[in-house]
Amino acid sequence: MPIDSIAAVARAAADNFSWETVLVEDPGPGEVLVRLVATGVCHTDLSVLAGRLPTPLPAVLGHEGAGVVEAVGAGVTTAAVGDRVVLSFASCGACARCRTGRPTQCPTYFWRGRLVGGDGRTAVRCERDRGRGPGPIRGSMTLPHARNLIDGQWRDGHAIGTSLDPATDRPLGTFADAGAVTARAAIDAARRVFDTTTWSQDRHARATALFALAEAMTVRRDELVELLSRENGKKLADAAMEVDGSIPKLRYNAALALTDSGRAAQLAPGMYSMALPQPIGVAAVIVPWNSPIILAVRSFAPALAAGCTVAMKMPTQTALTNGLLYELIAEAMPAGVVNAFTESGNTGAPVLVSDPNSDVISYTGSTVVGRAIMAAAAPGLKPVSLELGGKSPMIVFDDADLDAVVPTLTAAITTFSGQFCMAGSRILVQRGIADELAQRPPSDRGVPRDQAHCPPGQLRTIQARINAQSRSRRGDRRRGTGRAGHRAYARAPRP
């Protein structure tokens, strides 16, 4: 269908701007349609700013414009609806009008723009000839692409995946989707570094690398917070809390690498017993999507401080965030010390668990998978560290102050959109106060008003469980829609 939008700023005469609302056809093959949301105005046209010509868009002094990709034509695979575009005016610079200081009257006057990607770093030029009148911008636009880090090298996977913004269901970028082959390469690289380098014996190198990673994360902290919020769906405040909590953990473990020591005891005259901690080898780390940065750091930083090397599987729901973390690791760590990949399937993670070259396993996730990991690790008697799906009941007794209780319950349930091991999962209320508490509406006190979202797969899982419980119990059976806004993955509140 045609798109009715403000598509262009057209110069009707040498001394006058006019704003034209036009009916724009769908973009043709290779074309991208951009809807302007703001524009710059040449200093010779201050009459616009003076109010002589009403402007339907925000206007600032200058030769710039800003817009959003509204539609893409056939054959355009690297641009997506919703991408932000920054535009500026340009001219040929060679004609008589350009040479005499009148570039805005150049017959080849065109828009020139650069795509600002989801990570704020990717930029590609695109152009549109002004002589054709209002129409689509032509050009090639790219989205950020995240790859896997194996033995200090960037590696592709067996497929290309797409990372979606859970708030809009629009692509944020692409990633190299790994599997069993990449997992084996990660373990082999970690084993080689552990067996053939001095990493496991050099405390100062380990402390230096962990401190360097903390500093690299500090420098790009804002970028990491923004990307984590956009891709994971948590609020900016929650994303900031996660990143800000990760940096001290890196510094703590860097210090621990230097200060860890053994114990000695005198058993008898001339006889001593000494116990010294030693690195076990290759640590296999499997990270969940709900807090990928801090849960990854919490697992691999102590392993590195102890002298282990790491093979790590990260979730696809935060593929671009993973990629940024990999960049920081590559900048701070010796090659092969941390080998990390992103996987959408279930072929790489089992390799990490069962491969004889992995020596210890760290997993955060569901209880069902935790049991499977224990069973797979049993034949080799591998040590296993598990943090499994938590149940965090909140208990309310008859003498509770409900004015204080309700905001606390609400915040506990909604923290990190409820996708949090310590989030309140159920409320147990003493009978004497149960009816009164049930009549109290949830409180928004202490709960940020900006809406958070979760990845689409998780939303479907949650909605199915809610619907199942609704069918099996008496009482209120009203269901949420599962979508709180246009193309956004969030549960709508019940009426």
Q: Token pair for residue 9?
A: 């700023």
CA nearest 481: which of 469, 473, 493, 470? 493
Active site residue 215: no
**Burial class, 242, CB count within 10 angstroms (exposed 0-12 / middle 13-18 / buried 19+):** buried
CA nearest 132: which of 56, 25, 1, 5? 25
CA nearest 494: which of 457, 460, 466, 452? 466
CA nearest 186: which of 282, 346, 335, 311? 311
In whole angstroms, give the CA distance from residue 86 to residue 114. 6
Active site residue 387: yes
Looking only at the bridges linking them, the beta strands covering 271-275 and 282-286 are unpaired
CA angle 19, 24, 29 (to 5 degrees): 135
Q: What share of the chain is helix, strand, coil (3-state, %, to 5)?
A: 35, 30, 35
CA nearest 343: which of 493, 130, 159, 212? 159
- Alpha helix ranges (H) inside 260-382: 292-306, 319-332, 348-354, 367-377
In whole angstroms, give the CA distance from residue 148 to residue 144. 14
Report how many helices (DSSP H) and strands (DSSP E) the chain contains, helices first: 13, 23
Looking only at the bridges linking them, the beta strands covering 145-146 and 170-177 are parallel
CA nearest 73: which of 165, 164, 7, 138? 138
β-sheet bridge partners, residue 376? none
In whole angstroms, give the CA distance from residue 142 to residue 162. 13
In whole angstroms, give the CA distance from residue 329 to residue 203. 18
The number of angstroms, rounded, from the C-alpha of 438 to the middle of its chain's C-alpha atoms is 36
Residues present in the chain in total = 495
Cα 38 to Cα 8, 65, 358, 468, distances in angstroms = 11, 6, 55, 47
Contacts of 219 (CB under 8 A, 6+ apart): none
Q: Token pair for residue 268?
A: 């008898």
Of 98, 106, 421, 454, which residue is the catalytic one? 421
Instruction: Give 404's DSSP letter.
Output: H
Show which residues are catalytic: 387, 421
